[in-house]
Structure 1
Amino acid sequence: MYQNQRIKDKINILGVSFDNTTMLEMVENIKQFISSNTDDNLFIVTANPEIVDYATEHELYRNLINQADYVVPDGTGIVKASKRLKQPLKRRVPGIELLEECLKIAHVSHQRVYLLGSKNEIVESAEKKLQSQYPNIHFAHHHGYIHLEDETVIKRITSFNPDYIFVGMGFPKQEQWIQKHKDKFKHTVMMGVGGSFEVFSGSKKRAPQIFRKLNIEWVYRVLIDWKRIGRMISIPKFMLKVAIQKYKMKSK
């Protein structure tokens, strides 16, 4: 684990320990890591209500993400929950936007970025579009339909010697993959990025600005993909668990 010299401000939401930080602070943290001489890696988790709800019911996964170097609130629901629990987080740190900030850093520094995840045609398309946007970055990719133990992919990535590995397999697999293999790399920023490759490839669109401003991106995702309705049950479950936690706090 990377030993950041800063004293961290942590906020516990249903057993998941969030870093009370902002996008600007995270960008500075990443730059500080890049300029350091450590051989350790930087493991970042961007957790939304779905992830926290899953973590409350899966102890191994909860322990795994709590061992990450940073856990940031990717979702307005997390920030609202922190306020209800009288432990307010500063603000949301959207995972796709943090990924874009990393790419800006990599572009300026002429670094190497590995994209792991999604279908081959999607991650390949994402790489091509990102390459045109960030021509100074050296990209490589592999699809995400692999076993956690697949050593062939590990050999490919280690031979590429990336500065960043972005894993778009969806939770919990992407975090499990990072935790299992992170010690095989040196001085690498590693982050699960969910469906970001679909957005970058153009196969899916990010929610329009109005949905983002109203903090209801999840509504847009359901409207364009009805198959997500089953997954969205985790949002009311998360809200109910927060309400129960708040009641327990009042009862003490």
Structure 2
Amino acid sequence: MTENNRLNKVDVLSIYFDNVTLIEMREHIKQFFLKDSIENLFIVTANPEIVDYATENEDYRNLINDADYVIPDGTGIVKAARILNTPLKERVPGIELTEACLKIANANHQKVFLLGANNEVVTKAVEKLSVQYPNIHFDFHHGFFDLTDEMVLKQVTDFNPDYVFVGMGYPRQEKWIEKHAHRFQQTVMMGVGGSIEVFSGTKKRAPLLFRRLNLEWVYRLLIDWKRIGRMKAIPKFLLKVFKMKFRK
């Protein structure tokens, strides 16, 4: 990323976020497909866990900052930006951006590849999404494979998708995209975390009240206590943000 590009972004612990709304991102994606180009569009949906991990892993931090868009997928990111006096317009939930992409794909009769979750879950996700978006041509593969597996890569590239949504958790999903992006042309590529499970119906999004109060993370913790270990990243992240603020 050049210095000029960084000037137009919001720095949260050396991760450079695009200050965009969901509506603006939807327009960017629409415009992307109107161009005559072979370039891909790599989108990272970064939450506090991802940023905390990236602060301690330089290669992953550089990978994220080389993406075309880094969007604030987490209330903690928006709050951190406000604490640092560089506010972001809004939180852009990754699952809602994925849904926006699916609506565009359905309108344009495009091809979508889902890569992630286990075989049963991703199969259910495609079954449900095919009913909801009948004009999309879907293909899929589970996420339990070695990142260097050429057979999986061949399946994805042979499909010639317009979108590849990789739901294998960070940093794995972004590493797969970075490693193989050069094998695709004019493809939107995005890590979508647990969105495939939500699309399959095996996991539910937080009720609207939790979402409006920016407490979606609380709901996820209430229904899945195994996440408590991952929640340790949030106080670490906030501590780093306040340290950054006082250094400034």
Alignment TM-score > 0.5, same fold: yes
What SS does structure 2 have at the residue aligned with 1:72?
strand
The unaligned stretches of length 5 or more in structure 2 are none
Match for residue 148 of structure 1?
147
Match for residue 247 of structure 1?
246
- Deviation track 1:158-214 (CA, whole Å, cap 9, x = no partner) reads 111100000000000000000000000111000000000110111110001111111
Match for residue 188 of structure 2?
189
Match for residue 225 of structure 1?
224
Distance in 2 (alpha carbons) for counterparts of 1:8 and 1:211: 34
Match for residue 10 of structure 1?
9
1:189 is matched by which residue type in structure 2? V
- Deviation track 1:61-112 (CA, whole Å, cap 9, x = no partner) reads 0000000000000011101110110101111110000000000000000000
Distance in 2 (alpha carbons) for counterparts of 1:115 and 1:58: 27
CA shift in 2, pair 1:170/1:238, >3 Å: same
1:193 is matched by which residue type in structure 2? V
2:231 is matched by which residue type in structure 1? M
CA shift in 2, pair 1:93/1:8, >3 Å: farther
Distance in 1 (alpha carbons) for counterparts of 2:35 and 2:80: 34
2:118 is matched by which residue type in structure 1? K
When normalised by structure 2's length, the TM-score is 0.97
Distance in 1 (alpha carbons) for counterparts of 2:147 and 2:157: 16
How many residue pairs match? The answer is: 245
Alignment map for 1:60-209 (pairs within 5 Å): 60-209=59-208
1:231 is matched by which residue type in structure 2? R
Bigger mean CA offset, 125-134 vs 149-158: 149-158
Once the two structures are TM-superposed, the CA of residue 8 in structure 1 deviates from its matched residue by 7.9
Match for residue 235 of structure 1?
234
When normalised by structure 1's length, the TM-score is 0.95
What SS does structure 2 have at the residue aligned with 1:233?
helix
CA shift in 2, pair 1:140/1:96, >3 Å: same
Distance in 1 (alpha carbons) for counterparts of 2:138 and 2:236: 39
Distance in 2 (alpha carbons) for counterparts of 1:180 and 1:160: 18
2:26 is matched by which residue type in structure 1? V
Match for residue 47 of structure 1?
46
2:40 is matched by which residue type in structure 1? N
2:198 is matched by which residue type in structure 1? V
- Contact 2:74–2:93 (8 Å) recurs in 1: yes
1:178 is matched by which residue type in structure 2? I
Runs of 4+ displaced beyond 6 Å:
none
1:61 is matched by which residue type in structure 2? Y
Once the two structures are TM-superposed, the CA of residue 7 in structure 1 deviates from its matched residue by 10
Once the two structures are TM-superposed, the CA of residue 248 in structure 1 deviates from its matched residue by 1.0
1:152 is matched by which residue type in structure 2? M
2:224 is matched by which residue type in structure 1? D
Bigger mean CA offset, 6-15 vs 68-77: 6-15
What SS does structure 1 have at the residue aligned with 2:238?
helix
Once the two structures are TM-superposed, the CA of residue 9 in structure 1 deviates from its matched residue by 2.7
Match for residue 209 of structure 2?
210
Identity %: 65
- Contact 2:6–2:16 (8 Å) recurs in 1: no
- Contact 1:8–1:19 (8 Å) recurs in 2: no
2:2 aligned with 1:23: no
- Deviation track 1:5-54 (CA, whole Å, cap 9, x = no partner) reads x9983011001000011111101110111111110100000000000000
